[in-house]
């Protein structure tokens, strides 16, 4: 295996799992990985088992040459781009206990999504055997589910969460942004604006008031259909009314035009 010399040298391996369509947010993960490990692997794999809508899977961008060039320029040591046949050589069943947090927020809108996510991430972990794995905070609930999966199997892997990387106007970088029309792109800014409102008024308003104002701001924006705006406990993802709680996070999901976007902000 390609990584045998790395393991023999007792070098620390970091894995950055992606679905491709890379942007500067992904590169930021590579850069952090280079700071905390000796050898950096980036996987590029569009995982079919985590898509609840076949049309969403079909239209997911796959600019392979662009991704490889980006990773080369970032100094990634190894790019792992397996085929679907390699990762799923035969039909298999997968279901593990990810806790109650699996079924709220994104889990409520995309039933079974996190089973598919943890299924492929476990396969990537088994293939690469990293010491550390890096994920972006933008997919907050996903990172939590992966950490729960690591705990479930008692894997010796440290999960590292890296900050959200935003465009200059505040839009969270996402591979899905490519699908936004010019007007959608402008309207999508309301997600970050709602989060910034909560941050700016956190000391002055109740959690219920903050959620209501943020939701109203989004709902009033043309072409934006709000799924949820919730302030929750960052570990359980359960609703939290106490602003003095130590681990609060605001999470939002909305459909902008034909594209569904998510974003979040740590509050405490």
- Active site residues per annotation: 26
DSSP characters over the chain? -TTHHHHHTT--EEEEEE-S---HHHHHHHHHHHHH-SEEEEEE---GGG-SSHHHHHHS---HHHHHHHHHHHT-SEEE---HHHH-SS---------GGGGSTHHHHSTTHHHHHHHHHHHHHHHH--SEEEEEGGGHHHHHHHHHHHHHHT-S-EEEEEPPPB-TTSPBP-GGGGG--HHHHHHTHHHHHHHHHHHHTTTTS-HHHHHHHHHHHHHTSTTEEEEEEEEEETTT--B---TT-SSEEEEEEEEETTEEEEEEEE--
């Amino acid at each position: 295996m390609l990584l045998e010399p790395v393991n023999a040298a007792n070098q620390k391996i970091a894995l950055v799992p992606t679905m491709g369509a890379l942007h500067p947010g992904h590169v930021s993960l590579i850069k952090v990985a280079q700071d905390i490990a000796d050898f950096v692997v980036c996987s590029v794999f569009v995982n079919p088992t985590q898509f609840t809508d076949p049309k969403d899977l079909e239209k997911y961008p796959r600019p392979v040459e662009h991704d490889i060039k980006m990773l080369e320029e970032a100094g990634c040591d190894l790019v792992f781009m397996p085929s679907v046949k390699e990762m799923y050589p035969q039909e298999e069943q997968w279901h593990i206990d990810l806790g109650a947090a699996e079924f709220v927020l994104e889990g409520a809108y995309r039933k079974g999504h996190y089973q598919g996510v943890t299924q492929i991430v476990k396969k990537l972990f088994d293939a690469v055997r990293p010491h550390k794995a890096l994920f972006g905070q933008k997919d907050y609930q996903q990172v939590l589910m992966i950490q729960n999966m690591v705990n479930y199997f008692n894997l010796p892997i440290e999960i590292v969460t890296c900050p959200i990387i935003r465009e200059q106007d505040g839009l969270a970088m996402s591979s899905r942004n490519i699908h936004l029309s010019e007007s959608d792109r402008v309207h999508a800014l309301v997600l970050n604006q709602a989060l910034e409102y909560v941050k700016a008024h956190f000391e002055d308003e109740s959690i219920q008031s903050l959620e209501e104002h943020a939701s109203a701001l989004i709902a009033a924006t043309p072409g934006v259909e709000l799924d949820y705006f919730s302030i929750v406990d960052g570990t359980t993802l359960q609703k939290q009314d106490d602003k003095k709680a130590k681990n609060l996070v605001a999470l939002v999901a909305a459909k902008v035009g034909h594209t569904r976007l998510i974003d979040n902000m740590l509050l405490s």
